[in-house]
Structure 1
């Protein structure tokens, strides 16, 4: 597929996708959804990829849905927003959550609506100091989709999630860090340097162990403690036979830097 709405590259174990409609604050159209889906499919199939980085071009990360792509006027026949969620936004969030590797989101500027919740679906979110998160859905008579109603309460608790969802107030990057919504806020000028340095770290890390960690943390939302302990045992049993575990132990004993293969 020829990409017109995103930039995408795979290099040194790092897959980097940049939403690239800066004149529209990288808001989503159907065409951009299809391009992002295609790129994520490549990431899933390419066994050399050990970390995925998502960011936006220009002065904002993503303003959510491009409303002109499904415009509707008062009194006119409505559009099936449920179909949009089912066909595009739900698969997008699930694809990110299910990638068998760390997912880093570098938020530059505003992340609004679906754009905010897309960013928060990543495993680790780094934001520039000028970035902000806005759940604008309430101002359109909608609910926070793209996993917002699931992600927000789990990250910051029900009270704060409800306030963000019902008031639609802008949350600064610094406040988002204080609340535990994101990993950290950094000066704008070092945002991508920080994100790519972290990506480089993960590209040399034991990928399978990180993928299992991701799965275990996500499973904990629905598991009882006995169920979670059983899952941990099953995962540790499998990881104990991996090359990276043997290499990690050998490197620790020899006091050298491990050379993980990510297998």
Structure 2
């Protein structure tokens, strides 16, 4: 696919995806959403990729849906088509990916851009960045998974507050609330993200993939179902070459070399 609004950088065991529409604060249009969907398909095919970094070009991460791109006829915007054909498949690909996705939150993440950030596995933000669910400000409701992700991370009271007020949650507060993983100085953002990339470069890809799948599944299960799933997944993990290497490395008092 010819990429016009997305940069795809393969760096060793990591792929960095950069939203590249800085003139509109990386607002999402159909082309960019399709390019993102293609990128995650490519990541899935390559067993050498251990992690994905998602970030934005310029001062913003993503300002949300590009409203100008849906046309000027406000009464006939195909909301269902846009959500079901573009957003939903992308969010599901991200959550179903066995590769950890790290959001390098370099600036504002608003509306659907906030949903996109929350769909990742780890969010590292510079202190000047913020998240905002601004849908209600224009008479809409959250989409692209934010109803799920906010409840998952915050619980109902805070999720309702942020969804209905649309207020800006800057990185320091977001870290305290559990909305993101780390708030760091802008000058340290790349280094902290790289630390996670290196962790996953040297981790068992099979274990990380299974853990991500289990945690996603567990949210819809009761305890008995989770315990049963753990037995099934542990059996799968125990048959992997990574398990054998991990045990040998432990016994030989060295770092494991996972393939």
TM-score bucket (shorter structure): over 0.9
Check the 8 A contact 1:51/1:202 in 2, yes or no: yes
Give the corresponding residue for 1:21. Answer: 21
Q: 2-side partners of 1:164 and 1:3: how far apart? A: 34
Give the corresponding residue for 1:59. Answer: 59
Give the corresponding residue for 1:151. Answer: 149
1:72 CA drift (Å): 3.3
Give the corresponding residue for 1:229. Answer: 227
Give the corresponding residue for 1:258. Answer: 256
Partner of 2:75: helix, strand, or coil? Answer: coil
Give the corresponding residue for 2:213. Answer: 215
TM-score by length of 1: 0.96
Partner of 2:61: helix, strand, or coil? Answer: strand
Give the corresponding residue for 1:9. Answer: 9
Q: How many residues align?
A: 259
Q: 1-side partners of 2:23 and 2:2: how far apart? A: 20
Q: 2-side partners of 1:190 and 1:2: how far apart? A: 32
Check the 8 A contact 1:6/1:36 in 2, yes or no: yes
Question: Which aligned pairs between 1:1-263 and structure 2 lie closer than 5 A?
Answer: 1-72=1-72, 77-261=75-259
Q: 2-side partners of 1:256 and 1:127: how far apart? A: 34
Check the 8 A contact 1:101/1:208 in 2, yes or no: no
Per-residue CA deviations over 1:160-188 (Å, capped at 9, x if unaligned) read 00000001111111000000011111111
Check the 8 A contact 1:129/1:174 in 2, yes or no: yes
1:11 CA drift (Å): 2.5
Per-residue CA deviations over 1:82-133 (Å, capped at 9, x if unaligned) read 1111011111111110111211111011000000111011111111101000
1:16 CA drift (Å): 1.1
Check the 8 A contact 1:120/1:151 in 2, yes or no: yes
1:80 CA drift (Å): 1.4
Partner of 1:41: helix, strand, or coil? Answer: helix
> Over the residues paired in the alignment, what is the CA RMSD in angstroms?
1.0
1:4 CA drift (Å): 1.3
Between 195-204 and 177-186, report the one with greater CA deviation. Answer: 195-204
Contiguous gaps of at least 5 residues in structure 2: none
Per-residue CA deviations over 1:25-66 (Å, capped at 9, x if unaligned) read 100111111111111111011121111111111001000101
1:13 CA drift (Å): 1.3
Q: 1-side partners of 2:33 and 2:81: how far apart? A: 14
Structure 1 segments, 4+ long, off by >3 Å, are none
Check the 8 A contact 1:63/1:113 in 2, yes or no: yes
Q: 2-side partners of 1:39 and 1:94: how far apart? A: 13
